[in-house]
Structure 1
Amino acid sequence: MLLEIFSDLVCPWCYIGKHRLERALADRPHVPVERRWQPFELNPDMPMAGLDRTAYLAAKFGGVERARQIYSVIEETAARDGLPIALDRIRRTPNTFDAHRLVRFAERRGLADRLTSRLFQAYFVEGADIGDREVLAAAAAEIGLDGDEALCHLGDGADSAAVRASQSVARQLGIQAVPCFVFDRRYALSGAQEPVAFLPFLDLAADGETVLGTAV
């Protein structure tokens, strides 16, 4: 089964959704699943240098206090799932276009899932600026990629067209929010669903069946 995961690396629900997907996959170890991480920029107009976190929250939510109310739900959910998160450490909201390009680079080496996990941790636990190419290259090196090669990849604009094309596919599929998990381009499960929500689709794959439709 091909499982395409449309997400953004600064989306807290994508971070939680990945954790829940992994719990579901652990319950179905016999199901062969090819995970493919697909880009979906939540802030496509973000300056390449990113924005100061306070300025970003003021523009997006009308202020830090309103953002705190919204994020308290995220923190409570992560805590309930046993997932570390430290939103207060984030000082800058990054542009994620380069991070998505680096995931493409990692995918060709079979390390996209590991890199995605590392970038989620860097941003949501460590508060790192994952729009910074040096930070991205360091993350790549930590999961077994060549850091210098990764930095070169980011510097020459490689995979820019591929990332834009993938985001066009997301629009064609009608995806408007992330995370969105697409099974064999036939069935979509939107949101950071509980692990049990994934199991029927994994069971269908094990039985060689497919279902058309969309679950939101």
Structure 2
Amino acid sequence: MSTTPIKIQVWTDFVCPFCLLGEAIIEKAIEGLEVEIEWMPFELRPYPTPTLKPEDEYLPRVWKASVYPMAERLGVPIQLPTVSPQPYTRKAFLGLQYAKQQGKGNEYTTTVMKAFFQQNLNIGEDQVLKNILANLGLNPAELDEFVNSPQANAQHDADLQYAKQLGIQAVPSLAVGEQFFSGVPSVQALRDAVQRER
């Protein structure tokens, strides 16, 4: 008997370290369960809002107080990227849309976050995103088409609007059926939510 996978929607922004840490928690929580994850866009600072700079006092403070301790608990290697100012993520999300269409949305999301937080790469640059697509076996030239496509941009705007309608204000945010988590849930809470959805 085949069961339909439980769907988890995860709203993320590629420049939020808690999204990479949340990904590790999701992986632990869904181990051995039939789950389908869909990564959804949420831009914390859409253009032209100024993005954060690692040399300002805010980022190092948050990282020291919250990011590094959580990363250590989870065993996830992570470092505050030196890219300054931090990149806008719209282009990376258009890349996600393409990767999703090719069935590689999960791999793409994880790879982009790791590129930023583990390899210190500027994920706002075309070439970085194209290399990621190529490494996933996707056609990097498709990124240009998506970035310039009115249809892809309209879809991205609709996805952002959907997040707004749901009242999402923080990332990661997760929906498991009718159950909703804002911020990083515990492994057990998320696993329980998936089991209840069954």
Scaled by the length of structure 1, the TM-score of the pair is 0.82
Does residue 17 in structure 1 map to residue 22 in structure 2? yes
Q: 1:82: Cα distance to partner?
A: 0.8
By how many angstroms is 1:158 displaced? 5.1
Secondary structure of 2:8's aligned partner:
strand
Counterparts of 2:149 and 2:109 in 1: how far apart (Å)? 21
Amino acid in the other structure paired with 1:69: R
Secondary structure (helix, strand or coil) at the match of 2:57 reads: helix
Q: How many residues align?
A: 192
What is the CA RMSD across the aligned residues, in angstroms?
A: 1.9
Alignment partners' CA distance in 1, 2:162 and 2:182: 16
TM-superposition CA deviations, 1:28-62 (whole Å, max 9, x none): x1x32221111000001347xx86xxxx338xxxx
1:157–1:168 CA distance, 2 compared to 1 (3 A): same
Q: Which runs of 5+ in 2 are unaligned?
A: 1-5
Residue of structure 2 in register with 1:187 after alignment: 179
What TM-score do you get using the length of structure 2 for normalisation?
Answer: 0.88
Any conservation in 1 of the 2:13–2:44 contact (CA below 8 Å)?
A: yes
Per-residue CA deviation, residues 59-112 of structure 1 (Å, 9 max, x unaligned), is xxxx72343121112012112211011115434410100111111111111100
User: Which residue of the other structure, out of 55, 64, 68, is the alignment partner of 1:75?
Assistant: 68
Instruction: Tell me how far apart the structure 1 counterparts of residues 151 and 143 of structure 2 sit (CA, whole Å).
Output: 10
Letter of the 2:101 counterpart: R
Match of 2:3 in 1: none
The residue aligned with 1:200 is 192
- 1:84 corresponds in structure 2 to 77
1:156–1:17 Cα change, 3 Å: same
| Separation (CA, whole Å) in 1 of partners of 2:158 and 2:82 | 33
Q: What is the match of residue 43 of structure 1?
A: 45
For 1:107 and 1:174, the matched residues in 2 are separated by 24
Whether the 8 Å contact between 1:89 and 1:125 is mirrored in structure 2 is no
- 1:209 is aligned to none
SS of alignment partner, residue 158 of structure 2: helix
Aligned equivalents of 2:135 and 2:153: distance in 1?
23
